[in-house]
Amino acid sequence: MSRRRLIGGAGAAGAAGLVLGAAGGAAGYAATRPDEPAALTTVGSTEVMFHGKHQPGITTPLQARGHLVAFDLVPGAGRKEAIALMRRWSATAGRLMAGEPAGNGAADGPDHDTGIALDAGPSSLTVTFGFGRTFFERTGLTDRRPPGLDPLPPFSSDHIDAARSNGDLWVQIGADDALVAFHALRAVQKEAAPAARVRWQMNGFNRAPGATARPMTARNLMGQIDGTNNPKPSESDFDRRIFVPDTTDAPYDWLAGGSYAVVRRIRMLLDDWEKLPVERQEQVIGRRKQDGAPLSGGTETTALDLDRAGPDGKLLIPDNAHARISSPGKNSGAAMLRRPFSYHDGISADGAPDAGLLFICWQADPLRGFVPVQRKLDRGDALSPFIRHEASGLFAVPGGAADGEYVGQRLLES
C-alpha cells in the first residue's frame, strides 16, 4: 500500500494542537484531532523524481534532514555483486521517493517494509549514489576511472580521520521529514548486504521548510547565512560548471550528466567563535550577520565590492575575509554548488560541542572547483582558526537513470 494512502491527521491538526496544547496540555491536543484522515501537508506531499538526466539531491532545494553514508565492498565482492547492489538500491530509491514501501510488502519476506514512514508522504526524499576511487579497483574498472577522482591534495588545516573518509560507494539521503529520511537510510543499509558494509555514516539537518516567514538562504551553526553566492540553475553556465558534459568521450562517457561530490566534515569551534563580538564575526566572514549583505553595502544578493574602502581608507571587506577569498572573482571563476547539512554529535572529550558542517559541494571538475578555492582558503582565510576539517571524501556521481535503468549501469555493464 502507498504511504500516501496512510496519512493520519498529524499534519494539519498537529499545528493547531501545538497552539492549543500550550494552554490545554494533552487534552487540548486530543480535542483537535480529527476523526477522519486529513490530506497531506505541503511538506509531506512534495515528490522529487528519481529518473532523469541528473540524479536527484544535487539541484534539489535543501532538505531538513540528511544522512551521508559510505560503504566498502566486502572481500571477494566485485563487479557482479556491484551490479546486483546498484539494481537493488536504484529500485528501492525509486519506490521510496515515490512514497511507496521499500520492499515487496510481504510481512514474512526478507525485504518487507519496516513501517517507519507509513504515515508520511514522499517529503522531498532524495537518494543519490556515487563511486569512490577504490570502487574502480574492486570492480576491475580502473581503465574507466576518470581523472577527476585523483586524490585531493593535502591542506594545512586538515585533521583528517581516514576511518571516516572516502569509501567505495557513497549514498546521500535527504528529506524534509526525519522519519522518512531514516526509513530510507535503513532500507539502503539493509539492501547493501551481502555485497557491501558501512564504512562511515554522518547525520545532518537544516532548517525545516516553513520555519521562516519567507523563503531564505539557510544559516549554519555559526549563525551566518550560508550559500548566498551559490551558482543558480537559471545562469547560462550553470550546467557547464556543475555537470559533466554530454560530449564526454569514452572511457568516461558513463559520467555524462553526472557530477563530482566533495564531502568534508568540518567541525566548528563554536566556543571560540561565540566569544567574538558580532562586529568581529562579520569581519571574519565579510558579510553582515543579520541579513547576509556584504560589508561593502547593499542586500544579501548585492555583488561584493572588493575595492570599496571606508572613511579610514581600509577595505570594508578585509583582505582575509572568507567571502573575499572564496569569491569566484578571486578564483578565476571557479565555482561549485554548495549543498551542506549542519551536524551536532554531542560533546567531545574536551567538553566542547562536536558540531559543524557536513560540507557537500558539486562541480563538473573538482580540480577546477573545490581544489583551487580550498588552496586559497588554506593560505589565509580568517575563518580557519574557528574550523577544523576532520573527514574528507571525493566521489564520482553518475548521471541519472532513465526508466528501466539503474544508477551506474552505463559504467558497470559497458
pLDDT for 92 equals 97
Q: What percent of the chain has pLDDT over 90?
A: 81
Look at residue 21 in the predicted model and tell me its pLDDT.
36
**Could you give phi then psi for residue 6, rounded to 5 degrees?**
-115, 25
pLDDT band at 49 (very low <50, low <70, confident <90, very high): very high
What digits encode the pLDDT tens for the residues 320-347? 999 999 988 778 778 899 999 999 999 9
pLDDT at 39: 60
Instruction: Please state, for a pLDDT cut of 70, what percent of the chain lies above it.
Output: 88
Mean pLDDT of 121-134: 98
Are 155 and 389 contacting, i.e. CB atoms less than 8 angstroms apart? yes
- The least confident of 22-26, 164-168, 341-345, 369-373 is 22-26
Residue 293 has pLDDT above 50, yes or no: yes
Give the pLDDT of residue 30. Answer: 38
Phi, psi (5° rounding) for residue 412?
-75, -25
Residue 10 has pLDDT above 50, yes or no: no
- Report the helix count and the strand count for the chain, using DSSP H and E: 11, 9
**Bridge partners (DSSP) listed for residue 65:** 175, 205
* Distance separating alpha carbons of residues 268 and 83, to the nearest angstrom: 39
E strand or H helix that includes residue 138: helix 133-138
Residue 2 has pLDDT above 60, yes or no: no
Among 137, 108, 138, 102, which Cα is nearest to 120's? 102
Residue 6 has pLDDT above 50, yes or no: no
| pLDDT tens for each residue of 238-271 | 999 999 999 889 999 999 999 999 999 999 999 9
pLDDT tens track for 58-90: 999 999 999 999 999 999 999 999 999 999 999
Tell me the pTM. Answer: 0.89
Q: How far apart are CA 293 and CA 301, in angstroms?
A: 7
Q: One of 226, 246, 253, 365 is an active-site residue; which one?
A: 226
Going from the C-alpha of 343 to that of each of 64, 329, 395, the distances in angstroms are 12, 30, 21
Cell of 294: 556584504
pLDDT at 7 > cutoff 50: no
Q: Which three cell numbers stand for residue 255?
A: 559520467
Please report which confidence band the pLDDT of residue 111 belongs to, taking 50, 70 and 90 as the band edges: low
Average pLDDT, the chain: 89
Reply yes or no on whether the pLDDT at 12 is more than 60. Answer: no
Q: Does 5 have pLDDT greater than 60?
A: no
pLDDT above 60: residue 16? no
Query: Model confidence over 153-172: pLDDT tens digits?
Result: 999 889 999 999 999 999 99
pLDDT at 317: 97
Distance of alpha carbon 302 from alpha carbon 299, whole angstroms: 5
Instruction: With CA atoms as reference, report the closest residue to 224 among 369, 124, 321, 362.
Output: 321
389/376 Cα distance (integer angstroms): 15
* Cis amide leading into 194 (omega within 30): yes
Establish how many alpha carbons lie within 13 A of residue 172's alpha carbon, considering only the half-sphere containing its beta carbon: 31
Tell me, what's the pLDDT at 40?
A: 60
pLDDT of amino acid 47: 96
* Stretch 185-189: mean pLDDT: 97
Q: 398 — phi, psi (to 5°)?
A: -60, 165
The arithmetic mean of pLDDT across residues 5-17, rounded, is 37
Residue 38 has pLDDT above 70, yes or no: no
| pLDDT tier, 414 (very low <50, low <70, confident <90, very high otherwise) | confident
Active-site residue flag, 226? yes
